[in-house]
Amino acid sequence: MENLDIFMKKYRLQLNAQQREAVGRISGATLLLAVPGSGKTTVVICRIAYMIRMKKIPPESILTLTFSKAGARDLSRRYLKIFGEKGAEGLRFSTIHSFTLSVIRHYERLYHRRAFQIVENTGSIIRELFQELFKSYPAENDIVDIVSAITYCKNMLLSEEEIGEMKVGDVDFPKLFKAYEAYKRRHHLMDFDDMLKYAWLLLKKNPELLKVFTSQYKYINIDEAQDTSKIQYEIIRLLSGEDGNVFMVGDEDQSIYGFRGAYPDGLLSFKETYPHGEVLLMETNHRSTQEIVNAANRFIRLNKERYVKNMRTDNEKGVPAVHEYVKSVEDQYWFILKSVKNEGKETAVLYRNNESVIPLVDLFEREGVPYAVKEHNPLFFTHFIVQDIRSFAALAADPSDFETFEKIYYKMNCNISRKNVLEAGKLSESGQDVFEALLSLDEIPEWLVEKVENIRAAFKRLASMSAQEGLDFIVWNMGYREHLDYRVSCGYREEQLNQKLDILKTLAGRESTMNAFLKRLDVLQEALRGSALHQKADVTFSTIHSSKGLEFEKVFIIDAVEGEFPSMAALDDSEEGRRLFCEEVRLFYVGVTRARRELEFISVGKKNSRHNRRPVSQFVRVFLGEKAPEAARKKITGGVIGETSKAQGKGFGIFDVSIVRKAELKEVDCSAYVPGAAVTHQGFGEGIILEMKKDMATIDFEGCGRKKLNIKVCVTNKIIRLQD
């Protein structure tokens, strides 16, 4: 290692023993497992420079692949900053998608064939096909979920049979997927995920083409290898061969992108793919205090299918993580605001769900406190629930708005036929009240007259209500809860719909009128669009996913309750639930290891209370040193990630495999769920059934109020049970 010592001295590099070993290993297949804060990027660029400067390896023979364009740019920038441009000519830092496109284009030149044009906007094609197939307009959320599902299918190399079993919300995904593939064939198009598929097939079936790239790139580096998908692993395997010079850097404990096809099995099966390869470790965390590192190291052991690593640090002991209890969700946001204003230190507020940031932004905007938001997704504002609430309010303000009535009449559990609606529409063209138009129809049955009169009275009441009263009234008194239950039975996750309602309820509580509430939604949408302008703020709001690779002096993790973190889907006692549980353990691990010195969890409820709306997150309890609860122990028995069963192969991430089918609903015995029965709901806590109408139960939950729930859906999804 004399050359390495000279190299380190020349460039004033300080590397520990594990980092030195990684930099000095050049030949053969290597998997470097790097714990959070261990300096993996430094090792990657130092190793490349060592290869070029000391081993005299031509830079054009080195290919470095990473997941994102930002990651590729960062590697290139950091390399040039330390080692300069001299000798870096021909050195390639690339995303794998960019590399596969170069494979396709080279094939075109080599064989004088024109392949496909790249789809610039997949969403617009999906929208067009959706309207054509289903005769309705998809919400923006549906488009995003469908595109994500397509990405998942291709990255996981799912079979036609497996794709046929997928469901995205209430969309017939297999039908849409086939139509999308046929559309691209007709128009000679390929999307970004097709690049992977076509490059893989071309390299696999054309030895001459494969030889072009294996001859050029003798050394392959893979950064963030835990984010690599199944098909990407196959491409890398073809390029490197069994004994090739491939250097993979990652950490299976930080694999958090299963919903888009990240495949941690690729790391776990490294020795099977490369029998003569070597697995190296970097276990020193240079970021966090001993308190944080030791707790995180203990916590990640909840997952069993992983490499044994012992994360450690030479940093100061620091202070233990803090767990704060607040009385309400609103108190949680105020607690964050006051902490940020009083402390004035670099802080991150991390959350699991993207829309959790909206009430925070609202409060910080009202109080004039600067903030920054990391990669916010604006889809909340176009979600069908938000649009429906807008429509209810609009119709209350203007009962002659037939166009709005047409959007929501079937969401009010009123049994008005489409025929009646169209007939009333003709009458209301002159500006007549929609309800008057319905009542004036010939041969309208008596029961419908009563229904329409009740609906008209409800809208009249709604027009004079406060924002929060109006929102509750729409959901619980105007039939909208039943519509949401129907959506759940068709495939939507109840927890996700309830999250949207909870956010709206929080925002509505800060406004006096429905009109002011709706205007505030517009203001917030604009504020979030421009949130990147707040660059000098002390506080950054971010999902844990978006915080990957970042670090902060202090980190808050909010919504630390069961059903949020871990999610309801991860608490489901099924194989898919266990798979999701393992990924959420990793997500929590990524979140806590963003903190350098201070870490704080916030839960809504009272400490050690059995009457909290939601129990404290089991993840927080384990992290703080408490015994793993029974639910967690059930999730972690048996190897989930390392298994290759058919069911795991179809792990759809955000796409439900635990969807309740109608056939399953019929088989559930709910006879014991009668008025007076005491129940426990995973989201709402303990309650008493007040009324049963068919499958719909009205339940009074302590501290949460009355809720109308579909008992069969809840029982089948195992989110409600009878108390002993």
Bridge partners for 95 per DSSP: 66
Q: What is the mean pLDDT of residues 15-20?
A: 96
In what helix (H) or strand (E) does residue 459 lie, and over which residues does it extend?
helix 446-463
CATH assignment of the domain containing 449: 1.10.486.10
In sequence order, what are the residues at sequence separation of 6 or more whose Cβ sits closer than 8 angstroms to the Cβ of residue 540? 347, 348, 349, 371, 372, 373, 374, 550, 552
Straight-line distance from the first to the last Cα atom of the chain, in angstroms, rounded to the nearest whole number: 67
DSSP 383-422: SHHHHHHHHHHHHHH-TT-HHHHHHHGGGTT----HHHHH
Rounded-to-integer distance, Cα 402 and Cα 309, Å = 63
Per-residue confidence at 86, pLDDT binned at 50, 70, 90?
A: confident
Decide which of 235, 256, 284 is a domain's last residue: 284
Specify whether 233 is located in the same domain as 349: no
Residue 3 lies in a domain: no
- Whether the CB-CB separation of 309 and 253 falls below 8 Å is answered with yes
DSSP helix/strand/coil, 347: strand
119-123, 231-235, 491-495, 588-592: the lowest-pLDDT one: 491-495
- pLDDT, tens only, 190-202: 999 999 999 999 9
Residue 340 lies in a domain: yes
437 φ, ψ (degrees, to nearest 5): -65, -40
| Number of other residues whose CB lies within 10 A of the CB of residue 641 | 23
Tokens standing for residue 336: 């964050």
Give the annotated binding-site residues for ATP: 34-41
Is the pLDDT at 718 greater than 80? The verdict is no
Sign of CA dihedral 188, 192, 194, 198: positive
Residue 145 lies in a domain: yes
Nearest residue to 79 (alpha-carbon basis) of 42, 118, 109, 35: 42
Cβ burial of 457 (10 Å; 0-12, 13-18, 19+) is: exposed
pLDDT at 427: 76
Specify whether 469 is located in the same domain as 511: yes
- Whether the CB-CB separation of 559 and 536 falls below 8 Å is answered with no
Specify whether 218 is located in the same domain as 363: no
- pLDDT mean across residues, the chain: 88
DSSP helix/strand/coil, 534: coil
Residue 622 lies in a domain: yes
Is the pLDDT at 665 greater than 60? The verdict is no
Nearest residue to 554 (alpha-carbon basis) of 708, 353, 339: 339
Per-residue confidence at 717, pLDDT binned at 50, 70, 90?
A: confident
Bridge partners for 220 per DSSP: 63, 246
Residue 422 lies in a domain: yes
Nearest residue to 554 (alpha-carbon basis) of 315, 366, 318: 318
Q: What is the mean pLDDT of residues 694-703?
A: 81
148-157, 178-187, 498-507, 599-608: the lowest-pLDDT one: 599-608
pLDDT at 535: 63
Is the pLDDT at 443 greater than 60? The verdict is yes
- pLDDT, tens only, 130-178: 999 998 888 888 899 999 999 999 999 999 999 999 988 888 999 999 9
Is the pLDDT at 661 greater than 90? The verdict is no
Tokens standing for residue 57: 């390896």
pLDDT at 714: 85
In sequence order, what are the residues at sequence separation of 6 or more whose Cβ sits closer than 8 angstroms to the Cβ of residue 338? none
Rounded-to-integer distance, Cα 361 and Cα 524, Å = 7
Decide which of 461, 482, 516 is a domain's last residue: 516
Rounded-to-integer distance, Cα 641 and Cα 302, Å = 13
DSSP 677: -
Specify whether 22 is located in the same domain as 98: yes
Specify whether 328 is located in the same domain as 464: no
Specify whether 356 is located in the same domain as 386: no
Residue carrying structure tokens 């199944």:
230
Residue 550 lies in a domain: yes
Q: HSE-up of 324 (CA within 13 Å, CB side)?
A: 20
In sequence order, what are the residues at sequence separation of 6 or more whose Cβ sits closer than 8 angstroms to the Cβ of residue 343? 554
Is the pLDDT at 611 greater than 70? The verdict is no
Is the pLDDT at 315 greater than 60? The verdict is yes
Is the pLDDT at 103 greater than 80? The verdict is yes
Q: What is the mean pLDDT of residues 397-406?
A: 92
Three-state SS string over 602-668 comes to: EEECCCCCCCCCCCECHHHHHHCCCCCCHHHHHHHCCCCCCCCCHHHHCCCCCCCCCCCCHHHHHHC
Specify whether 97 is located in the same domain as 145: no
Residue 8 lies in a domain: no
In sequence order, what are the residues at sequence separation of 6 or more whose Cβ sits closer than 8 angstroms to the Cβ of residue 526? none
Rg value, the chain, Cα? 28
Cβ burial of 590 (10 Å; 0-12, 13-18, 19+) is: buried
Per-residue confidence at 666, pLDDT binned at 50, 70, 90?
A: low
Rounded-to-integer distance, Cα 233 and Cα 585, Å = 24
pLDDT at 1: 66
Nearest residue to 292 (alpha-carbon basis) of 608, 719, 598: 598
Rounded-to-integer distance, Cα 434 and Cα 398, Å = 9
DSSP 137: P
User: Residue 566: is the preceding peptide bond cis (ω within 30°)?
Assistant: yes
Per-residue confidence at 645, pLDDT binned at 50, 70, 90?
A: very low
Specify whether 305 is located in the same domain as 340: yes
Domain that residue 481 falls in: 382-516
285-299, 473-487, 626-640: the lowest-pLDDT one: 626-640
What's the structural domain count of the chain?
A: 5
Residue carrying structure tokens 């470095």:
64
Bridge partners for 540 per DSSP: 348, 372
- pLDDT, tens only, 259-277: 989 999 999 999 999 999 9
42-56, 99-113, 435-449: the lowest-pLDDT one: 435-449
Rounded-to-integer distance, Cα 191 and Cα 479, Å = 41
Rounded-to-integer distance, Cα 526 and Cα 508, Å = 18
In what helix (H) or strand (E) does residue 230 lie, and over which residues does it extend?
helix 230-240
Give the annotated binding-site residues: 34-41
Residue carrying structure tokens 């903030």:
371
pLDDT at 297: 97
Number of H helices, E strands in the chain: 34, 19
Specify whether 92 is located in the same domain as 130: no
Residue 376 lies in a domain: no
pLDDT at 628: 52
| Number of other residues whose CB lies within 10 A of the CB of residue 191 | 22
CATH assignment of the domain containing 684: 2.30.30
Specify whether 417 is located in the same domain as 502: yes
CA distances from 173 to 147, 179, 196, 493 (A): 10, 10, 21, 16
CATH assignment of the domain containing 95: 3.40.50.300
Rounded-to-integer distance, Cα 204 and Cα 234, Å = 10
Is the pLDDT at 637 greater than 60? The verdict is no
In what helix (H) or strand (E) does residue 81 lie, and over which residues does it extend?
helix 69-83
Rounded-to-integer distance, Cα 408 and Cα 386, Å = 12
Specify whether 340 is located in the same domain as 432: no
Specify whether 158 is located in the same domain as 205: no
- Identify residue 461 by its one-letter amino acid code: R
In what helix (H) or strand (E) does residue 699 lie, and over which residues does it extend?
strand 696-701
Per-residue confidence at 643, pLDDT binned at 50, 70, 90?
A: very low
Is the pLDDT at 642 greater than 70? The verdict is no
56-65, 214-223, 648-657: the lowest-pLDDT one: 648-657
Decide which of 604, 627, 649 is a domain's last residue: 649
Higher per-residue pLDDT: 573 or 719: 719
